Amino acid sequence: MTSIVASIHLDTRELDRITKELRPRAQKILKAGATAVEAKAKAVIQAKHIWDTGALHASITARQVAEWTWWVEDANLDYGIFQELGTYKMHARPFMTPAVEWARPHFDESWKELFE
């Protein structure tokens, strides 16, 4: 026996309303997470005395690069990665990884609260 459904109407008004309400709150969570990582990375740089001219500290920025994407980076510097990961001549002095790990629990909790 074969059954064919000619058409199905799906009313998404309620889902659309919920999505519309969640979107700005989700954007705030992303921005807050990125700016928290930026602030913590700068604090780690100071605490670990990864400081010569202050250029690395000053270059750490959080910026939105797409609707759902934020980058926290050491803009316009070519040596931040060497501080973070080390080289064969220098041990690693990570600042970004500890900042991300520090911010992760709050970030995760914010997403959990959004969807409860």
Where do the domains of the chain lie?
23-115
**Can you tell me whether residue 72 is helix, strand or coil?**
strand
Element (H, E) at 80: helix 80-85
Q: How far apart are CA 38 and CA 60, in angstroms?
A: 6
Which residues, other chains included, contact 27 with Cβ-Cβ below 8 Å and sequence gap of 6+?
Answer: 67
Task: Please state at what angle helix 96-115 crosses helix 13-47, rounded to 10 degrees.
Answer: 160
pLDDT digits (tens, 9 = 90+) for 78-113: 899 999 999 999 999 999 999 999 999 999 999 999
The string over 41-67, giving b where at least 16 C-beta atoms fall within 10 Å of a residue's C-beta and e elsewhere, is bbebbeeeebeeeeebbeebbbeeeee
Name beta bridge partners: 43. Answer: none
Q: How far apart are CA 104 and CA 106, in angstroms?
A: 6
Q: What is the pLDDT of residue 84?
A: 95
pTM of model > 0.85: no
- Residue 28, CA distances (Å) to 74, 100, 103, 116 in order: 22, 17, 15, 16
pLDDT digits (tens, 9 = 90+) for 5-52: 678 888 888 888 888 889 999 999 999 999 999 999 999 999 999 888
